[in-house]
A and B are shown apart, each in its own frame.
Chain A
């Protein structure tokens, strides 16, 4: 198999890699915010549930969660494993990443000086207005570097979908490597991930720059 064929075959899986990546972000970013807000809830049981969620999803391997979400329904309820593994894969990634995002949001929200809340309160802003107009925009700027970190990790973590044989780029590469007894697919995969992350780094750098229009 020539290098070109390997690249072409793996590039087909890249579409699925991108699907995991973008869908995970699409769901995990808002879900993380919900978890962070629940964790900060004054109602004890609610905040306790959110804490337990974060604890379990951060404390167990993503690989295990992928297997659990993909095959769990079959073993537990006899529901047949879905043809399209994208759904369980994205669910596993999204709930896992939401736990990490939730903690990043929390750190950002907690780093806000109390004076910002007090100034907003005295001016008559409602709690929802205060959060969306005053707090959140500043929190986003503060947490952007940590979020970038998480996104870069996600790019590489998509390769874990191979544990449930989802045909994304790395899974295909691994199959080629096995059948051809070749190391080349791994090098190709490495280059793919590196270029992907270089783009992520560039885009996030631009976003950070745009957010830096004011001094904190």
Chain B
């Protein structure tokens, strides 16, 4: 069953038609990478999926329930959007950790104060997550003292602490220097092996090819090509993606 289904999504900022008609579904356990040039609408698509932007038209469905749907030609969002927010997690390009909270509190606060879960239970879960990620000695550190790679790993575990069914990544390594990119990609790869459902917007082509079940190439607000990564990268059909990969490989 699809965890996420987006149909005929359209989004404009003023005159700028960013998403022109995007349909996308993500099945349980699937890893989907979205690649494409800057301004192609990749990040906007993720921001629409996570309700950070409102769509102009289309349908967004999580676990078979509509979060946004068309009614009489108008796009209407569900009243209790927060129930949907518990289904997904989002990892930002700039981490967006809360600097005044320790690593542990960054992870624990939302499960405790938003989901009203038992504090001790959450603490145990979060400490276990930190141990798994090799970050247990950072539990009481403040984010500002961590390296970029560590901060991004913390923001991944913060999202995981909410037990999401699907995790979105918005260019998770773009703010990191190349040396730190590896540790973050390793974590994502580990999650992929554990069959975590993920949608990853990235510029790391080799990584997308290695880790994804499906690759989507976007350009100009449309999905130009998608499919099995070996197929899409090895036997590219569209001219636009060929050109994109050529430019990418040139460097």
Contacts and interface: CB of A to CB of B under 8 A. Distances in A.
A123 B164 CA distance: 10
Interface in A185-215: 213-215
Contacts, number: 62
A137 B109 CA distance: 15
A12 B99 CA distance: 47
A124 B161 CA distance: 13
B82 to A, nearest CB: 5
Contacts of A119: 92, 96-98
A118 interface: yes
Interface string B59-93: 00000000000000000000000100110111010
A213 B89 CA distance: 28
Interface string B7-29: 00000000000000000000000
A121 interface: yes
Contacts of B92: 115, 118-119
A134 interface: yes
Interface of B: 50-52, 82, 85-86, 88-90, 92, 94, 96-100, 109-110, 113-115, 142-145, 158, 162
11 contacts: A113-B94, A121-B51, A121-B52, A122-B89, A122-B90, A123-B110, A123-B158, A123-B162, A124-B86, A124-B162, A215-B145
Given A115-B92, A137-B100, 18 more contacts: A115-B94, A118-B92, A119-B92, A119-B96, A119-B97, A119-B98, A121-B85, A122-B52, A124-B85, A124-B110, A124-B115, A125-B113, A125-B114, A134-B98, A141-B100, A213-B142, A215-B142, A216-B144
